[in-house]
Amino acid sequence: MGSFVERNARPEIFNLKPYVPGKPVEEVERELGITGAVKMASNENPLGPSPLAMAKVQEGISKINMYPDSACYYLRQDLAAFYGIDEDCFLVSNGSDEMLRLITETFVLPGDEVLYGKPSFSEYELMALIMGGHSIGVPLKDMCFDLAAIKNAITDRTKLIYICNPNNPTGSIVSRQDIEQFMKELPEHVLVVFDEAYFEYVTADSTVSGLEYLARGYKNVMVLRTFSKAYGLAGLRIGYGITTPEIAAAVNRVSEPFNVNLLAQLGAIGALSDSQHIQASRSVNIQGRDYLYREFEALGMNYVPTEANFIFVDLGRECRPVFKALMKEGVIVRTGDIFDFPTYIRVTIGKPEENEKFIRSLKKVMGV
């Protein structure tokens, strides 16, 4: 007969692999009896949040007995002014993860297809499976999204295509030319979601934001951004989408009331206004990136050139033992085996002293 859950739960849940987050610093220190650990696993901003964001959050603490503004009115106004786009084009959510769920609940029927590059952010697959959709991961080509192969995989049942740009975990971007060709040939029944969580870190001018296609009048485009990465508000969980007013209104229908908490809204308003913090975050990222490139090259390790705040690097050996040994040294990274790259790790670019601690520890555990 099976258990209660086996008899009664929706069959889709048995195909799900729960997301496994990186371990918090406190847990690692407690488990291993160490201090001074650094977390370089979850692509958080090593500079912390903007002072303006913290001041806004402090202002709001006395009001947490009140429900937040369900429409995120003031934040959407600020976003509209920041981008020069009508506020009806903005959706705000409890992190980008919730936005992915809302998009999927709005558009994906059982049997519909969702396409994305593989490896990429695992939530694309998870959300599709929850709704009974088919998730189709199209292998990367040279560590980049292969848009030509994704285009060839489109069928009448394809509802969503995710373009993670820069891509997580590789840090690679898709070229302007490839995106342009892809968008030219895109069928009208497919919604393309540009997941641009790391776009603030991009330094190359060889790619293009999905915002350009919205500006050109495409009716089947959505762009996702977040306050979790460069803006340093991962702990508040707040992301947003930019799309047509029609799509925004449809997605809003499945959104919970009060889904974005009061302090998150205030923190985001403060962070958005702090251009100096974003510039400092970009600068420390570029400095750290170039330092880690030099060190990896000196060690003879191949890495994927990044446009994000992390680097996907090939250790040339199984990553799990190295990951565990690094943890004992007080350095937390992400293993590549979860992305089907068993000799790789993904390391977040930190402050200079964190990057140096990582390299010292890596050399020690690798015996070089």
Domain spans of the chain, in order of start:
4-48+276-366, 51-274
3-class SS at 4?
Answer: helix
The pLDDT value given to residue 118 = 97
Mean local confidence (pLDDT), 75-88: 98
pLDDT over 80 (residue 201) = yes
Q: Are 54 and 270 in contact (CB under 8 A)?
A: yes
DSSP assignment of 322-359: HHHHHHHTTEE-EESGGGT-TTEEEEE---HHHHHHHH
Tokens of 98: 């919730």
Q: Are 138 and 150 in contact (CB under 8 A)?
A: yes
3-class SS at 254?
Answer: coil
Q: What percent of the chain has pLDDT over 70?
A: 100
The pLDDT value given to residue 259 = 97
Alpha carbon separation from 160 to 124, 133, 261 (Å, rounded) = 10, 10, 28
> How would you class 82 by CB atoms within 10 Å of its CB: exposed for 0-12, middle for 13-18, buried for 19 or more?
exposed
Q: What percent of the chain has pLDDT over 90?
A: 91
Convert 292-309 to b/e letters by CB count within 10 Å (16 or more is b). Answer: beebbeebebebbebbbb
The pLDDT value given to residue 368 = 86
**Cα 67–Cα 71–Cα 77 angle in degrees, nearest 5:** 120
Residue 25 CA neighbour count, 13 Å, CB half: 10
The pLDDT value given to residue 50 = 97
Which of 8-17, 26-35, 86-95 is most confident?
86-95
Q: What is the pLDDT of the chain when averaged over all its residues?
A: 96
Q: Tell me which of 62 and 21 has the higher pLDDT.
A: 62
Tokens of 254: 């499945």
Fold type of domain 4-48+276-366: Aspartate Aminotransferase, domain 1 (3.90.1150)
> Which residue do the tokens 């690097």 mark?
313
Q: Is 52 left (phi over 0), alpha (psi -120 to 50) or beta?
A: alpha
Weakest mean pLDDT among 28-37, 245-254, 274-283: 28-37
Tokens of 44: 């958080």
Q: How confident is the model at residue 158 (pLDDT cuts 50, 70, 90)?
A: very high
Q: Are 229 and 201 in contact (CB under 8 A)?
A: yes
pLDDT over 70 (residue 1) = no
Weakest mean pLDDT among 28-32, 94-98, 141-145: 28-32
pLDDT over 70 (residue 203) = yes
Q: Are 145 and 164 in contact (CB under 8 A)?
A: yes
Q: Are 311 and 290 in contact (CB under 8 A)?
A: no
Q: Decide yes or no: CATH 3.40.640.10 for domain 51-274.
A: yes
Q: How confident is the model at residue 95 (pLDDT cuts 50, 70, 90)?
A: very high
**Could you report the per-residue pLDDT of 177-186, keeping only the tens digit for each?**
999 999 999 9
The H-assigned helical ranges of 201-348 are 211-215, 245-252, 262-272, 275-298, 319-328
Q: Tell me which of 2 and 325 has the higher pLDDT.
A: 325
pLDDT over 90 (residue 25) = no
Alpha carbon separation from 339 to 122, 160, 240, 354 (Å, rounded) = 9, 21, 26, 24
